[in-house]
């Protein structure tokens, strides 16, 4: 039912549909809005939330909107989108034909976040996942525990009369953090990229706490939240009293390097991708006969899963540290 190319592109046999294709294709399913750039495919399938969050990134593509839990047919296949838990609107694809079921889970997340809700797990014959953190040591703490640590860092920094600067991916994790801090009445100054996405979240029904934009002379008693690429900006550089924190799942493996690269005092291991414990849990529920993994992972990752009895087909990409 699946065709896999040498570049690990995955296509549903007998159709034009690819899953999260990295090149322009006739029809591509997009699992989430967390993409910096997207190839201009002729058509895309995604949830209404993902389509809205992608905005101009999908300009020029015909859009096929499909909400969660509404199966549709494509040729001889039945297709349904279900939540993946990764971020608002993120989805998995359930494909059924002749009594067989494939689930393309993408980069799911089982540890619940404020804006994504819980992932839905289905029994299947074949499971396809995209791996971002491919080693058994990647077992992330619960998001609420990391958020509490960030909250403590902010309060301590404010008490010392410094400006807390939080560097984070502007899509997904940032919104969860902003909601968390807003509930604790922390005043925030947000980078325009954060504000733009927050307005879309509000239009999609997510309640957002009060926030302000970046005003260079009005940071006192506020936390500045901005993308990682904003570290070298004049605004941050000109802050005489500041402490910088970076939020990255990679900090579990390369915390010292990340802190050095971004000149940060601390790094927090918050991720919207699954850890090793989460894929183990997913497999225990879905019980697939075949597991297809593509992305960044080491041999210990697949060997550990194989020792647990799973039939693994792995497609590696060159490993690299992704900071930005």
Return the C-alpha torsion angle 215, 33, 142, 84, nearest 10. Answer: 160
Give residue 318's pLDDT.
43
- How many Å apart are CA 76 and CA 103, to the nearest integer? 16
Of 51, 50, 53, 26, the C-alpha closest to 40 is 26
pTM: 0.91
Sign of CA dihedral 275, 277, 280, 285: negative
Q: Identify the CA nearest to 113 among candidates 187, 34, 57.
A: 34
The pLDDT value recorded for residue 219 is 79
Contact by Cβ (8 Å): 225, 166: yes
Residue 266: both structure tokens together: 């601390």
pLDDT < 70 regions, the chain? 5-7, 215-218, 317-324
Domains observed in the chain: 2-139+272-316 (3.60.15.10), 143-268 (3.40.50.10890)
CB of 33 closer than 8 Å to CB of 50? yes
Write down the pLDDT at residue 114: 83
pLDDT at residue number 6? 56
66 to 47, 104, 157: CA distances (angstroms): 5, 15, 44
Rounded distance between C-alpha atoms, residue 215 and residue 219, angstroms: 7
CA proximity to 188, closest of 175, 201, 203, 202: 175
Q: Going by C-beta distance under 8 Å and a sequence separation of 6 or more, which residues neighbour residue 28? A: 17, 18, 19, 20, 21, 39, 41, 43, 44, 45
List the structure tokens of 242: 């500041």
């Amino acid at each position: 039912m699946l065709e896999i190319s040498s570049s690990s592109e995955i296509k549903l046999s007998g159709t034009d549909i690819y899953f999260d294709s990295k090149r322009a294709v006739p029809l591509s399913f997009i699992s989430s809005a967390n993409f910096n750039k997207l190839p201009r495919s002729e058509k895309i399938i995604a949830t209404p939330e993902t389509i809205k969050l992608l905005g101009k990134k999908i300009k020029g593509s015909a859009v096929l909107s499909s909400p969660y839990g509404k199966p549709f047919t494509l040729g001889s296949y039945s297709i349904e989108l279900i939540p993946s838990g990764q971020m608002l609107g993120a989805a998995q694809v359930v494909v059924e034909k002749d009594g067989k079921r494939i689930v393309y889970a993408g980069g799911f997340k089982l540890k619940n976040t404020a804006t994504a809700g819980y992932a839905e797990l289905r029994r299947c014959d074949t499971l396809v996942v995209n791996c971002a953190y491919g080693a058994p040591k990647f077992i992330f703490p619960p998001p609420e525990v990391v958020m509490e640590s960030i909250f403590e860092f902010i309060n301590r920094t404010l008490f010392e009369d410094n400006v807390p600067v939080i560097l984070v991916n502007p899509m997904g994790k940032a919104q969860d953090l902003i909601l968390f801090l807003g509930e604790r009445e922390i005043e925030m100054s947000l980078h325009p990229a954060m504000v733009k996405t927050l307005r879309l979240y509000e239009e999609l029904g997510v309640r957002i706490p009060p926030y302000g934009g970046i005003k260079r002379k009005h940071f006192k008693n506020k936390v500045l939240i901005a993308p990682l690429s904003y570290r070298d900006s004049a605004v941050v550089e000109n802050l005489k009293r500041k402490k910088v924190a970076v939020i990255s799942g990679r900090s579990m493996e390369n915390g010292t390097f990340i802190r050095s690269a971004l000149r940060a005092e601390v790094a927090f291991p918050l991720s919207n991708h699954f850890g090793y414990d989460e894929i183990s849990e997913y497999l225990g529920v879905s019980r697939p006969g075949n597991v297809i993994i593509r992305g960044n992972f080491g041999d210990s990752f697949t060997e550990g899963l194989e020792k647990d009895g799973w039939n693994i087909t792995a497609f590696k990409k060159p490993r690299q540290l992704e900071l930005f």
